[in-house]
Structure 1
């Protein structure tokens, strides 16, 4: 779906929540292959059974990728991702856990050098099936203005 929103259209406090997605063993295997991260925490069921967490843990970067992917339900030709800040893996995600994402607009600010753009900050919270927070981060968008600021 295409949504055309300019900087002025974003409202602080606006929140959207995604559907869930269950993390599978196949997800972990594919992610390990893509990234080269074959640490036993993710791959070795028997070793994990001897550790305090007892089960394999999904890669934090996998949880981030899937969680952010869940928020990508629209295309806005006036905005682009400018990056992510303050990324934290709050608690582990295991095979069979279902995650969902909540995104809340928290801040808008002018671009310091480009009067036809602004920054929009979005707080991302990814939770599991028990509504426990598993990951948080801040997402920044670079967004066109309807009208450039006066110089």
Structure 2
């Protein structure tokens, strides 16, 4: 039995979704993620990062993007009859993410359109913004997601 309540029809342009809880960022998580996926000195070694041109130990942009995905899942993807992601566009890393930051997410539906070959599903285009506790935007992007339509 399907327990996911949200279908393509629930995502009309202009509808907004937000993450209910902030995503905390810790030094340990920054280092652990970087060691596995982006092992640059500015992410794995706080002392070397302080001497680097950026001058701060910060989360990888890939890590920030991964945290955004988690917040999208918690906000509504896990309740959605989602088929697959289609693309990411206009990804912009606008500010460094530091240990101690608390990230928030806002997502707005930009467009929704039927799948051209499969009438039981449709695409939804989201504008995603991630911002820190000071309301400074750290990451923005658009993403197209394929979602099942409500059964007749």
Question: Which TM-score tier does this pair reach, normalised by the shorter chain?
Answer: 0.7 to 0.9
Structure holding more helix per residue: 2
Partner of 2:81: 78
Q: Indicate yes or no: 2:135 matched with 1:134.
A: no
Cα displacement string for residues 76-117 of structure 1 (whole angstroms, at most 9, x for unaligned residues):
452233144122211111111111111111100121221222
CA distance in 2, matches of 1:109, 1:64: 25
Partner of 1:88: 92
SS of residue in 2 equivalent to 1:88: strand
After alignment, is 132-141 or 122-131 more displaced? 132-141
After alignment, is 97-106 or 70-79 more displaced? 70-79
TM-score (norm 2): 0.84
**Where in structure 1 are there 5+ consecutive unaligned residues?**
none
Q: Is the Cα contact below 8 Å between 1:57 and 1:94 reproduced in 2?
A: yes
If you compute each CA radius of gyration, which structure gives the higher value, 1 or 2? 1
Displaced runs of 4 or more, over 3 A: none
TM-score (norm 1): 0.84
Q: Is the Cα contact below 8 Å between 1:105 and 1:122 reproduced in 2?
A: yes
Among 19, 22, 26, which residue is 1:20 paired with? 22
